[in-house]
Amino acid sequence: MSKVQYMIVEKFKNGDAIPVYRRFGDKGRLAPEGLTYISSWVDTKFERCYQLIETENRDLLDEWISNWKDIVDFEIYPVISSNEAAERIKPLL
């Protein structure tokens, strides 16, 4: 299997980031081995977090989400870099 990167859009339930940051501070990312955190960004209203995660095993995302789904709603998108997208689309231009 090859590694796939995923853009994870986390929407904090009730627009409340405090429980998320509290759990993260107490327990860490709670990611299973084989799920690699790349980077993340949080909107300025503290309503959403955008995380770039990498794994060879998509099931690990579900395992990780199960640790957070009581306080976060998730959207998951497999993504590629802009450079890779440009290379893939070039033959169609």
Q: Is the dihedral of CA 59, 61, 67, 70 positive or negative?
A: negative
pLDDT digits (tens, 9 = 90+) for 50-91: 999 999 999 999 999 999 999 999 999 999 999 999 999 999
- pLDDT of 58: 96
Q: Does the pLDDT value for residue 11 go beyond 80?
A: yes
Q: How many domains does the chain have?
A: 1
| This prediction's pTM | 0.91
CB 56 within 8 A of CB 33: no
Q: What is the CATH number of the domain that holds 46?
A: 3.30.70.1060
Question: Which residues are bridge partners to 41 per DSSP?
Answer: 50
